[in-house]
């Protein structure tokens, strides 16, 4: 995205090193921040994922921050962390800060300490974007846009780090983004999926979107929750549900790389293991398409709208076209992998019914009186489907009592076994 060049600016700064990051702690005028600094969407090449980051900026919070800046005389912010690329930022170290009056507290400063003090110059053609402090930035932009009335204007502390627009550079910056936000406050699920470079599920979700045709374009809804927007007529599921499906797959399937979810979220797997997780995820959806005709039609369709309309709507449709249904089938399949291969487990699960208006989905997942999805009977539905495969962990009598109570029919029988 092009950007009009702004004027040259000189920032008083400290130069520091932490780990392998070189950073500059500077003072920047609030108006300069508003004019020069952008949001973090630039750290992702995928437009849908970039837009997702933007949607995390809640209007209410930016308004609160703007009001705070306008009305609170004791206002104070911690530092914004800003990535910079392009242009030609220059560091000018001070040659000497020793007191001319020979004051003892400054006479023994070493060259390294002196060299950390100076000025950072920006020509105006750099691209700056916030890695930490996006809501503060939104509040700053709002108050400046509304008409800033400060004399003198606020000077804010900003930490500038260098960003390289390469694959490795983007990975490094995304990791810093999530690291900063993880330590400051809980990172939203949407940010994790879009940006996290350590979380195996998040990385594989992005790869499924970017490297396969199954979830490219509008085939997945860029929504961080498991609630499919009613108006969505082209996606199989949401990006949030896709993340949950992979979480189940990687933590509950019987395969060599199975790990606890916390381990998969916090420590990036080795490159070869990460590739193996991705292949396992990709194989899973390939097997689903191979064994479930409705999913095969979806994955092969040039325009998915007709397939979705047939399988999701007020009429009910197919359980696999609802996030809760895809989650339940994934839990069933991972349980079957205890003594079957993934391909065999998917094939076995394909024997189960999927019509929401029929048992066991009617009343357990689909409210037939209101034509809406029910989320409160997931365990009973899963165990009933497993019972149909001869795999439920619950005794038949206990499951029957549970089934009758939750479907609201004291005379109902458990569905017949399949296969």
The whole-number pLDDT of residue 51 equals 64
- For 88-139, write each residue's pLDDT tens digit: 788 888 765 555 556 666 666 677 777 788 898 888 888 888 888 888 898 9
Q: What is the pLDDT of residue 235?
A: 96
Looking at residue 183, what is its pLDDT?
A: 59
128 neighbors 140 (Cβ within 8 angstroms): no
Please check whether residue 301 is in contact with residue 307, taking contact to mean a CB–CB distance below 8 angstroms: yes
What number of other Cβ atoms are within 10 A of residue 35's Cβ?
16
HSE-up (13 A, CA, CB side) for residue 352: 32
- Dist. CA 344–CA 340, nearest whole Å: 6
Q: What is the pLDDT of residue 375?
A: 92
Sign of CA dihedral 310, 314, 319, 322: positive
> DSSP class of residue 318?
B
Whole-model pTM: value is 0.70
d(CA 206, CA 186) in angstroms, rounded, equals 21
CA nearest 301: which of 386, 242, 234?
A: 234
pLDDT at 115 (0 to 100): 73
Q: Kindly report whether the peptide bond that precedes residue 313 is cis, defined as omega within 30 degrees of 0.
A: no
Given this model, what pLDDT does residue 3 score? 47
**Strands 117-122 and 90-93, bridge-based pairing:** antiparallel
What is the pLDDT, as a whole number, of residue 2? 42
Identify the pLDDT of residue 304: 96
The stretches in the chain having pLDDT less than 50 are: 1-3
Give the pLDDT confidence score for residue 208 in this predicted structure.
Answer: 96
CA dihedral 103, 104, 109, 115 (to 10 degrees): -20
Angle ∠(276,282,284) on CA atoms, nearest 5: 105
């Amino acid at each position: 995205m092009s950007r009009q060049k702004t004027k040259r600016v000189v920032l008083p700064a400290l130069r520091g090193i932490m780990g392998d990051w070189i950073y500059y702690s500077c003072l920047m005028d609030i108006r300069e921040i508003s004019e020069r600094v952008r949001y973090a969407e630039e750290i992702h090449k995928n437009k849908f994922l970039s837009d997702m980051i933007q949607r995390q900026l809640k209007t209410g919070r930016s308004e609160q921050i703007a009001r705070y800046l306008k009305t609170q005389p004791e206002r104070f912010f911690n530092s914004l962390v800003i990535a910079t690329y392009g242009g030609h930022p220059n560091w000018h170290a001070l040659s000497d800060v020793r007191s001319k009056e020979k004051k003892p507290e400054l006479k023994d400063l070493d060259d390294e300490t002196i060299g950390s003090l100076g000025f950072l110059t920006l020509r105006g053609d750099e691209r700056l974007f916030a890695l930490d402090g996006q809501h503060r930035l939104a509040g700053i932009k709002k108050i400046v846009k509304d008409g800033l009335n400060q004399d003198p204007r606020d000077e804010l502390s900003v930490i500038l780090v260098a960003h390289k627009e390469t694959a490795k550079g983007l990975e490094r910056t995304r990791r810093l983004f999530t690291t900063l936000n993880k330590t400051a406050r809980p990172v939203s699920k949407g940010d994790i999926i879009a940006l996290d470079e350590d979380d195996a599920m998040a990385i594989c979700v992005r790869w499924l979107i970017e490297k396969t045709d199954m979830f490219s374009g509008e085939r997945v809804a860029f929504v961080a929750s498991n609630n499919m927007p009613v108006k969505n007529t082209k996606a199989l599921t949401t990006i949030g549900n896709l993340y949950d499906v992979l979480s189940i797959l990687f933590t509950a399937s019987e395969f060599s790389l199975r790990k606890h979810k916390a381990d998969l979220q916090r420590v990036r797997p080795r490159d070869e293991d990460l590739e193996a997780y991705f292949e396992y995820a990709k194989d899973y959806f390939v097997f689903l398409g191979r064994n479930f005709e409705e999913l095969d039609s979806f994955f092969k369709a040039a325009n998915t709208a007709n397939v979705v309309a047939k399988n999701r709507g007020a009429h009910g449709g197919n359980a696999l076209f609802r996030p809760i249904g895809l989650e339940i089938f994934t839990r069933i399949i991972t349980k079957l992998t205890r003594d079957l291969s993934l391909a065999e487990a998917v094939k076995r699960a394909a024997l189960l019914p999927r019509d929401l208006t029929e048992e066991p989905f009617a009343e357990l997942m689909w409210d037939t009186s209101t034509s809406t999805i029910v989320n409160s009977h997931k365990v009973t539905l899963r165990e009933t489907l497993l019972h149909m495969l001869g795999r439920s962990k619950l005794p038949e009598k206990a499951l029957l009592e549970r089934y009758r109570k939750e479907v609201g029919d004291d005379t109902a029988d458990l569905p017949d076994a399949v296969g």
